[in-house]
Structure formats: structure tokens, C-alpha cells
Amino acid sequence: MVREDGKRNFALRETDGDEESVYSGNTPRQAALKAARRLDPASSEDEASGTELRLREKGTDKVHIYDGWAWRESAPDNKPDWMPGEITEANVSKKGIEHLES
């Protein structure tokens, strides 16, 4: 379901089918990146291990499947005053789409 502002809601599905977290974004990838930033970050991107993220688009039976990983990195030199010196970065790679059984 698309909201008035054009964003869609995606529920993060656990292996048992529970959906406790909801992320919004214009695309499934945008929501997956938000979910990946909440993973336990590694010290660098090379050391980060992938975790499967399953995001069900609210109002549909589509489940978007991604591999996501997160890592710690130094904040840019031109960072705003409120930003900490070390930030969490993330990336995702799409694996596919599944449809839930009714």
C-alpha cells in the first residue's frame, strides 16, 4: 500500500513469521538499508557478514529477500556537530521475491 507521500511500508519478518519492526521507503531497497543499519556492525566492511533480511510489503503477499551487512566507519570531516565521530554504514544485495501462501 502506497501512502500519500509515496512511501511504502515493509515489515521485517523473523524466521518464525513474526513481524515486529516496520520500515518505510519509496523502494524495498531503501527499507532494507534502514533495517541493515540496525544489525550488529562489524569493524570494517570486509569483516562484515551478511544476514538475510525478509521484508513483507504491507498490503501485499510479496516478501522481498535481501542479504544485508553493517560496519562501523569514521564520520566524514564535514559532519554536523550533532553526529558522533563513528557511524554505522550498511549495504544490501537483493536475492529475490517470494509470495506468501494464502
pLDDT, tens digit (0-9, with 9 covering 90-100), for 23-60: 999 999 999 999 999 999 999 999 999 999 999 999 99
Q: What is the pTM of this model?
A: 0.89
**Angle, CA 53 vertex, CA 37 and CA 36 arms, to 5°:** 5
